[in-house]
Structure 1
């Protein structure tokens, strides 16, 4: 497991390496790694691959990054970018705006949703997204002790649904109703069967929208 202080230093770029003729930097390494993951997924990422793209040896990377796990953590924080600025709207609209932007971010960088969430956010961008949810939620009827659990729940739900979106086989989803209709009886699954007449949809976005709005409807400002 990567050292937490070392990971935080990389995320915040706190310890730049000084060289007489700098050829590399943590930003360069992380940027190239993000490009690889965006184009080919995390499975294609290795220290050797990053070094090849940068025209250096893999050992040269370790002056800036202690290992692949630390690199992936920094990549995810970088790829997340910054959340939208506060909209000035009511708290519910602000939360919905943050979640919509988070959803778009996960769709733009599918691999980010697969980076293990081993604890609370540590990097500047991850913390900024968390703060962007906490700020409007703090203006509601939620107790202070409920704010972090609620923001964590929303973030985790969006991340997991993004994984579902990426994993959904569009062709299989289109056949779902037909296949079930031939094998499942209304007697055993009456509600499900009553809904299968609706057009099948492989887009998970409505799940995020409906789920969030129903969740927020139970909170008062």
Structure 2
């Protein structure tokens, strides 16, 4: 899920129209007619296999057996195509269980699910954040995060900022995870041991001396995601308890 963020040149109305457009049309002979959905799904397949740099309108047209001009009748341009690809590849969030878990467990499940989406489609974390979410799937992910946050005792004005922070933190770590070189990650501790001066980096040196700064985990950042999110949720719980105590004292 993209967080609200940087400005960009993408026409938001055109993106929203494309993202909410109906699915494939079919020709009279039953064949799937060229449509926005078919174009987007072909583009996702290319990005999954070769990365975002391999994507172009011409490449998608070639895969589908059409001309580039035929694609432009359904998709205004590459910016809108990438925005639609993001929504389609993100998919729907996991269906809530019944009865719903605690707000904390629900957020933890949300984080695990969106983390898996990013690892399954690494190109997603390289898509520029030109706007807040506008597509049906991304809005569904936002709603799935706002729900448990609203039950966590946060003020209404805090919900969007907190959701933006959580989604942004997961996205940032997912980008690092998809870019890390496992061999370099495994050698990191040894490299630091040769160069880090305890006088200049006392805390870093002490951590390395105790347990080793980086374990040979191939650069897996999943534990970092869980650790950081647990501490964040601890803080939300502490804030909720403090506010509850203050209300009882008034």
TM-score, structure 1 normalization: 0.94
| 2:177 counterpart of 1:155 | no
* CA distance in 1 between partners of 2:43 and 2:91 (Å): 15
Where does residue 120 of structure 2 map in the other structure?
108
Matches within 5 A, 1:4-153: 4-14=12-22, 23-87=33-97, 88-153=100-165
**Partner SS state of residue 182, structure 1:** helix
**Partner SS state of residue 227, structure 2:** helix
Residues 161-181 of structure 1, C-alpha deviations (whole Å, 9 max, x = no match)? 111001111111111111111
Q: Aligned residue pairs: how many?
A: 221
Tell me if structure 2 keeps the 8 A contact 1:17–1:64: no
* CA distance in 2 between partners of 1:17 and 1:91 (Å): 41
Where does residue 226 of structure 2 map in the other structure?
209
Q: Structure 1 residues 5 and 19 mapped into 2: Cα distance closer, same or farther (>3 Å)?
A: farther
| 2:190 counterpart of 1:173 | no
Deviates more, 1:147-156 or 1:189-198: 189-198
Shift of 1:14: 5.0
Shift of 1:19: 7.2
Residues 2-54 of structure 1, C-alpha deviations (whole Å, 9 max, x = no match)? 32222111101159889777630111100000000000000000000000000
Deviation beyond 3 Å, 4+ runs, structure 1: 14-22
* CA distance in 2 between partners of 1:101 and 1:16 (Å): 28
Where does residue 4 of structure 2 map in the other structure?
none
Calculate the aligned-residue CA RMSD, in Å.
1.8
Residues 110-129 of structure 1, C-alpha deviations (whole Å, 9 max, x = no match)? 00111111221000000000
* CA distance in 1 between partners of 2:26 and 2:103 (Å): 45
Tell me if structure 1 keeps the 8 A contact 2:152–2:236: yes
* CA distance in 1 between partners of 2:25 and 2:77 (Å): 16
Q: Structure 1 residues 19 and 7 mapped into 2: Cα distance closer, same or farther (>3 Å)?
A: farther
Deviates more, 1:10-19 or 1:161-170: 10-19
**Partner SS state of residue 89, structure 1:** coil
Instruction: Name which structure has the greater RCO, CA cutoff 8 Å, separation 6+.
Output: 2
Residues 38-96 of structure 1, C-alpha deviations (whole Å, 9 max, x = no match)? 00000000000000000010000011100000000000100001111223110000000
TM-score, structure 2 normalization: 0.84
> Where does the alignment leave 5 or more consecutive residues of structure 1 unmatched?
none
